[in-house]
């Protein structure tokens, strides 16, 4: 059996087996079996004396790094912005700031996958009249845009602008503006081409991690494509989840393009940014 990834845990209560360590103003959650105070202290002293690694525009892309994972979710808190808030901590960050308050969450594979169940819970919690809004932090929200845009779009759909949304980020405002200008140019170039799925027939098979069957079919429709129930010569893409059976074999025999769920999501993230 492969060794379990120590950064990968299941369920929101991910800190229950970690110990809290405060060092030079940093708060970290570490595995007690692996914690070596002296070595960590030396490393931390070095880390405190260098600058964050801010990127050039478009140097870091969410589709290259994000694993769509969540480090933590904390409903009904008072510390991440104004009023009573729900806070979603996404996993993964490249800034590596001196004094980072959450080193473990710099790992893109840390935590647990963002699921429909979690999203429904966040929406339910935000529905409480005393909750002012959602805070996105991490990790780096702008390197996890698939997760963040998905929950933001749902909040706007369910609550309009009655709930506010905050984000804590390592990007400066100027850097975000430059990313945005780049994306606008990309939009001008790609609007005419539509997206890669427009007009295609797409079939999903197997157990998907992020979608029920109805949800994936809705997503396919949103992309201007047609969801299919069986694989035929007219099928353009097969999205394959776990335990895919005869549809996968048939798609392989017909030479149809097969996408894992991650590959499909990366292509959709590209489309949603356009
Ligand atoms: S941006 Fe935030 S999560 Fe990322 S390294 Fe800096 S303090 Fe840590």
User: What are the tens digits of pLDDT across the range 46-92?
Assistant: 666 667 788 888 889 888 899 999 999 999 999 999 999 999 999 99
- Regarding whether 137 and 107 lie in a shared domain, the answer is yes
Q: What's the total number of domains in the chain?
A: 3
Task: State the pLDDT confidence band at 22, using cuts at 50, 70 and 90.
Answer: low
Q: What number does the ligand 1 atom closest to the CA of 99 have?
A: 7
Q: Which atom of ligand 1 is nearest to the CA of 169?
A: 1
Overall size of the chain counted in residues:
274
Per-residue pLDDT for 151 more than 60?
A: yes
Mutate which of 138, 172, 175 for ligand 1 pocket (most atoms within 8 A of beta carbon) = 138
What is the pLDDT at residue 44?
66
CATH of the domain at 246: 3.40.50.10190
Are residue 165 and residue 200 in the same domain, yes or no? no
Alpha carbon distances (Å) from 186 to 78, 173, 176, 258: 39, 20, 15, 27
Token couple for 194: 């539509």
Residue nearest to atom 3 of ligand 1 (CA): 139
Say what percent of the chain tops pLDDT 70: 76
Would you say residue 181 lies in a domain? Answer: no
**166 by DSSP, 3-state: which?**
strand
Evaluate: CB of 170 within 6 angstroms of ligand 1.
Answer: yes
167 shares a domain with 217: no
Position in ligand 1 atom list of the atom nearest CA 105: 3
Mean pLDDT of 215-244: 87
Name the residue with tokens 């353009």.
236
On whether both 94 and 130 belong to a single domain, the answer is yes
CA atoms of 218 and 212, how far apart (whole Å): 10
Residue 170 three-state SS: coil
Whether residues 82 and 8 fall in one domain = no
**Alpha carbon distance 149, 110 (integer Å):** 20
Indicate whether residue 138 lines ligand 1 (CB < 6 A): yes
140 ligand 1 Cβ < 6 A? yes
CA atoms of 128 and 149, how far apart (whole Å): 22
Q: What is the pTM of this model?
A: 0.56
* Phi and psi, residue 77, nearest 5°: -120, 170
- Give mean pLDDT, residues 221-230: 83
CB of 195 within 6 A of ligand 1: the answer is no
273 pLDDT band, cuts 50/70/90, is very low
Q: Among 101, 137, 142, 166, which residue has the most ligand 1 atoms within 8 Å of its CB, making it the best to mutate?
A: 101
Asked if residue 5 is part of any domain, the answer here is yes
Range of the domain at 18: 1-36
Query: Do 120 and 160 reside in the same domain of the chain?
Result: yes
Report how far ligand 1's centroid is from the alpha carbon of 46 (Å). 16
The alpha carbon of 115 and the centre of ligand 1 are apart by a number of angstroms equal to 24
Q: How far is residue 232's CA from residue 247's CA, in Å, rounded to a whole number?
A: 9
Supply the mean pLDDT for the chain.
82
Residue 21 is predicted with a pLDDT of 67
Among candidate residues 142, 126, 127, 141, the one with its CA nearest the CA of residue 85: 126
Encode pLDDT of 82-137 as tens digits: 999 999 999 999 998 887 888 889 999 999 999 999 999 999 999 999 999 999 99
Domain identity same for 30 and 78: no
């Amino acid at each position: 059996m492969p060794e379990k990834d120590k950064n990968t845990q299941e369920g929101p209560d991910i800190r229950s087996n970690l110990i809290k360590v405060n060092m030079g103003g940093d708060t970290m959650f570490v595995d007690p079996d692996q914690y070596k105070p002296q070595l960590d202290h030396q490393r931390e002293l070095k880390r405190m004396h260098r600058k964050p690694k801010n990127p050039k525009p478009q140097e870091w892309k969410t589709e290259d790094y994000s694993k769509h994972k969540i480090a933590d979710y904390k409903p009904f808190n008072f510390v991440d912005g104004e009023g009573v808030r729900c806070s979603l901590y996404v996993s993964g960050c490249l800034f590596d700031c001196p004094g980072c308050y959450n080193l473990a969450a710099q790992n893109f594979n840390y935590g647990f996958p963002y699921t429909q169940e979690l999203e429904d819970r966040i929406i339910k919690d935000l529905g409480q009249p005393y909750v002012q809004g959602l805070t996105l932090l991490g990790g780096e929200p702008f390197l996890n845009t698939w997760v963040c845009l998905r929950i933001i779009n749902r909040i706007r759909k369910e609550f309009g602008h009655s709930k506010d949304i905050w984000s804590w980020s390592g990007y400066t405002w100027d850097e975000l503006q430059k990313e945005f200008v780049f994306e606008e140019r990309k939009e001008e170039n790609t609007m005419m081409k539509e997206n890669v799925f427009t007009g295609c027939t797409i079939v999903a098979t197997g157990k998907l991690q992020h979608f029920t069957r109805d949800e994936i079919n809705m997503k396919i429709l949103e992309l201007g494509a047609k969801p299919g129930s069986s694989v035929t010569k007219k099928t353009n893409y097969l999205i394959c989840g776990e335990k895919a059976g005869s549809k996968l074999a048939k798609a392989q025999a017909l030479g149809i393009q097969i996408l894992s769920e991650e590959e499909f999501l990366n292509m959709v993230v590209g489309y949603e940014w356009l």
